Structure 1
């Protein structure tokens, strides 16, 4: 009989020793911590023809929205140039409040617009203003705000003043502020989706206004045409179906753009001298 050392037997020749301890880290196959889908959502959207189309659609939706908001609330949800002028008139000529404009409505629209622009812009600096996931989430929130306003109007009706009025104005202005900031992040300053003054001026002073190929001019013309058409369509829908229906169509346009962000091409990553992505 062979002796045993320390009470353990050595494996016989030809037998395979089975290890019962925990497996080593090299034997474990871990799934990728960043799936391809998540990497795709983190990509930065590239300014492109599709992005131009998206901004034009948002401009069309803005035209519809402002066409009804001015009639219903005597202020603009998106056009803060007009609101700023009206607010100064309210300070200088308070007796006009209630006739030409409603001071609290204008102040709410301007305040919520600026608050949304600040929040969207500052968060964009942190997470990346053109990241696909950020554009999708922001645009989806804007869409829900517009739909929420339409639902509120369907349920409670439309009044020139009151709590529901301020809520409606606040929701629309907040959505508009975020939208304008996002349009700037796509590096197409010719399409602001809201303010037309600069576009008109830049269009007529363009030294290459009559050139056959002029991308900035084409963008400005498309932007102004979409804003005008959206306003006319908004006025027609308001006259025939009412404000809530117009807002639903405006929100549908924003929802379409939200879905389209899934298909934008991404910017190529810059390469360092060693060939590695920066």
Structure 2
């Protein structure tokens, strides 16, 4: 009897260990599959306009600080196009002779960013969670690198300029500093990441919220026949436009406040890094699109 029991007991223990190992492996595989499924699923676009409105705030924050530091924009390329065109005639006279190169650098970097981010989304899968998270991670990294360059004195900062009547040394601001090599790197990085926000607005199908352009928003807002007659919550498009304009203005105000403070442009950029980092985390927990046409 003993000879018969030992093999039976031995087999029983072996089967027990095998079953537990199998369950652990199955559980691990199930968790990995759930995580993979979640990251490759497309996000739901409901309420995603709120994220784009926050991007308006980031654009205003960075642009106001960048203009104080570099006399060019990193998001609004219409102004940069005018500045670059004036540079052909060495205008405006109040700016250093080669300052137009900053605007040109911003335009070219924005074009490059638009091509790169749009191609990335198109090839990897538009609204997939990991694609959006990686896109905003790259944008955040570009802002952080720019902040480090400014913070460590490798690029111009944004101190508020005092009027000539109050500061006899103001004329030094107008001296030609030569070719602005040190400023072109952060300008290029900030302009490239700005394109990523615009691409995101297209991917999420909120073309009315381009996150960097205000002129069309002003026009579309004032062209709305129900601008003043619709209820507070019954005109979604109007509310989105008002939100984008208000947040861009608020961000620009904060950028000006930072420019006058001891934190300068670097402080404004670190705030932008924190906000973009928060958006990355929001995408991680954002609701999945369960419709039939969702990307797998």
* TM-score normalised by L of structure 2: 0.77
Q: Could you tell me how far apart the structure 2 residues matched to 1:127 and 1:97 are?
A: 47
* Aligned pairs, number: 248
- Residue 148 (structure 1) aligned to one of 122, 145, 148: 145
Bigger proportion of residues as helix? 2
The aligned counterpart of 2:216 is 198
1:137-161 per-residue CA deviation (whole Å, 9 max, x = no partner) reads: 1101111111111111111254375
Q: Could you tell me how far apart the structure 1 residues matched to 2:60 and 2:79 are?
A: 14
Q: Could you tell me how far apart the structure 2 residues matched to 1:123 and 1:143 are?
A: 16
Q: How does 1:121-136 map to 2 (within 5 A)?
A: 121-136=118-133
1:219-251 per-residue CA deviation (whole Å, 9 max, x = no partner) reads: 000000000010001100111121111111111
CA contact (8 A) 2:59 2:211 kept: yes
CA contact (8 A) 1:116 1:175 kept: yes
Q: Could you tell me how far apart the structure 2 residues matched to 1:260 and 1:114 are?
A: 27
The aligned counterpart of 1:48 is 46
CA contact (8 A) 1:58 1:257 kept: no
CA contact (8 A) 1:130 1:186 kept: yes
Aligned-residue CA RMSD in angstroms? Answer: 2.6
CA contact (8 A) 1:97 1:103 kept: no
2:288 counterpart SS class: coil
Distance of aligned partners of 1:73 and 1:208 in 2 relative to their CA distance in 1, 3 Å threshold: same
Q: How does 1:41-120 map to 2 (within 5 A)?
A: 41-49=39-47, 51-91=48-88, 93-96=89-92, 99=95, 102-120=99-117
The aligned counterpart of 1:209 is 227
The aligned counterpart of 2:285 is 263
- Residue 253 (structure 2) aligned to one of 232, 248, 251: 232
Q: Could you tell me how far apart the structure 1 residues matched to 2:206 and 2:112 are?
A: 22
CA contact (8 A) 2:68 2:259 kept: no
Higher mean displacement: 100-109 or 175-184:
100-109
Q: Could you tell me how far apart the structure 2 residues matched to 1:136 and 1:156 are?
A: 30
* Unaligned 5+ runs, structure 2: 1-21, 157-176
The aligned counterpart of 1:23 is none
1:78-135 per-residue CA deviation (whole Å, 9 max, x = no partner) reads: 11111112222223x2353771881210111000111011111112111112111011
How far is the alpha carbon of 1:185 from its aligned partner? 1.1
Q: Could you tell me how far apart the structure 1 residues matched to 2:155 and 2:187 are?
A: 11
Runs of 4+ in 1 over 6 A off after TM superposition: none
The aligned counterpart of 1:163 is 181
How far is the alpha carbon of 1:34 from its aligned partner? 6.7
Q: Could you tell me how far apart the structure 1 residues matched to 2:236 and 2:100 are?
A: 40
* TM-score normalised by L of structure 1: 0.82
1:25-75 per-residue CA deviation (whole Å, 9 max, x = no partner) reads: xx9x984697110110111112122x1221122111111100011111111
- Residue 192 (structure 2) aligned to one of 158, 169, 174: 174
How far is the alpha carbon of 1:162 from its aligned partner? 2.7
